[in-house]
């Protein structure tokens, strides 16, 4: 492995895990400690990480939140492929939850007639799209609607979620860091996201690879709270291995 390729992989490991030990890197890449020290020094100089005693930690990259109406067009092909792969988890009957988000929005457009299915959402545009399909019963949880995400949040939403259980919850993400966890910029959305995960028998996270290695202000869970991550093939194989080592399944769209 060339130094440039090794350093790219080290950067991905640190961004996803938050911290790495030099000895572990030496063993992983079968190089001596001095080589790893040079790698870490070069990456620190480039601003990709921060060296600490015995290894390195990530330079926190905070996730920015754009309006979902704009985000749904970003990485469109990847998001549609992810939604198609996640659609395999839709049960033939029962209750599912589809969270507000750009990638989950693509899932709504792919829902076929799968029998007696109750679909609950906290996104007004998703509820309207599903109602137009006319195949299943659709319900929203109510609450204040955030302009950035169209998500229903606050007390009404939380009270409704406390009395609901879902066979599967399809959720999105603003930021995923294997050390810090799942996070979002808004505290009201963080509370609702945590409640959704608590109400689901199975949680499926739909996200493109750009969300990994990011952090946001409000943490609401860890990757271990997710049963299945559905993402694109651009996610580093090293990160995939680390997620699976934590007990969470990973499915690469198109893979």
Give the pLDDT confidence score for residue 30 in this predicted structure.
93
H or E stretch covering 70: helix 68-71
pLDDT of residue 136: 82
**Domains in the chain: ranges and CATH:** 3-58 (1.10.10), 68-252 (3.40.50.1360)
Q: What is the value of pTM for the model shown? A: 0.76
Question: Which residue matches tokens 């790698």?
Answer: 39
Q: Is 66 in a helix, a strand, or coil?
A: coil
Q: Tens-digit pLDDT profile for the chain (255 aa)?
A: 789 899 988 988 887 777 788 999 999 999 999 999 999 999 988 877 878 788 887 765 555 555 555 555 567 889 999 999 999 999 988 999 999 988 898 898 887 665 678 999 999 989 988 888 777 889 999 999 998 888 999 999 999 999 999 999 999 988 898 888 999 989 999 999 999 999 999 999 999 888 887 888 899 999 999 999 999 988 878 788 889 999 999 999 976
Contacting residues for 50 by C-beta, under 8 A, at least 6 apart: 44, 56, 57, 58, 59
Q: Which of 207, 220, 199 is nearest to 250 (CA)?
A: 207
CA nearest neighbour of 227 among 183, 180, 174, 168? 168
Between helix 102-110 and helix 124-133 the angle, nearest 10°, is 10
Question: How big is the CA angle at 230 (ends 88 and 67), to the nearest 5 degrees?
Answer: 110
Instruction: Say which DSSP state 123 is in.
Output: B
Degrees to nearest 5, angle at CA 119 with 118 and 123: 155
Backbone angles phi, psi at 253, to 5 degrees: -60, 130
Task: Tally DSSP H helices, then E strands, for the chain.
Answer: 10, 15
Pair of tokens at residue 125: 């545009």
Place of tokens 């950035």: 148
Which long-range contacts link 195-199 to residues 24+ away (Cβ below 8 Å)? 195/157, 195/158, 195/161, 195/162, 196/97, 196/99, 196/122, 196/161, 196/169, 196/171, 197/169, 197/171, 197/221, 197/225, 197/226, 198/161, 199/97, 199/161, 199/162, 199/164, 199/165, 199/166, 199/169
User: Residue 170 corresponds to which tokens in the numbers above?
Assistant: 């399809």
């Amino acid at each position: 492995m060339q130094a440039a390729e090794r350093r790219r992989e080290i950067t991905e490991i640190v961004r996803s895990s938050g911290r790495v030990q030099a000895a572990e890197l030496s063993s992983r890449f079968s190089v001596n400690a001095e080589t790893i020290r040079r790698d870490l020094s070069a990456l620190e100089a480039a601003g990709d990480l921060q060296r600490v005693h015995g290894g390195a930690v990530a330079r926190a990259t905070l996730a920015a939140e754009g309006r979902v109406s704009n985000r749904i067009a970003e990485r469109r092909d990847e998001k549609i492929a992810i939604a198609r792969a996640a659609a395999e988890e839709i049960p033939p009957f029962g209750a599912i939850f589809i969270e507000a988000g750009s990638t989950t929005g693509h899932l709504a457009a792919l829902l076929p007639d799968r029998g007696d299915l109750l679909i609950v959402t906290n996104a007004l545009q998703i509820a309207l799209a599903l109602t137009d399909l006319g195949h299943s019963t659709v319900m929203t949880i109510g609450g204040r609607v955030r302009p950035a995400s169209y998500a229903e949040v606050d007390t009404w939403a939380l009270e409704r979620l406390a009395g609901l259980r879902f066979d599967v919850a399809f959720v999105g993400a603003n930021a995923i860091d294997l050390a810090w966890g799942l996070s979002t910029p808004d505290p009201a959305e963080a509370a609702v996201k945590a409640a959704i995960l608590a109400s689901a028998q199975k949680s499926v996270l739909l996200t493109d690879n750009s969300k990994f290695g990011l952090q946001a202000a409000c943490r609401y869970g860890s990757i271990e709270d997710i049963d299945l991550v559905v993402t694109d093939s651009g996610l580093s194989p090293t990160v995939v291995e680390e997620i699976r080592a934590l007990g969470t399944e990973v499915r690469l769209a198109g893979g």
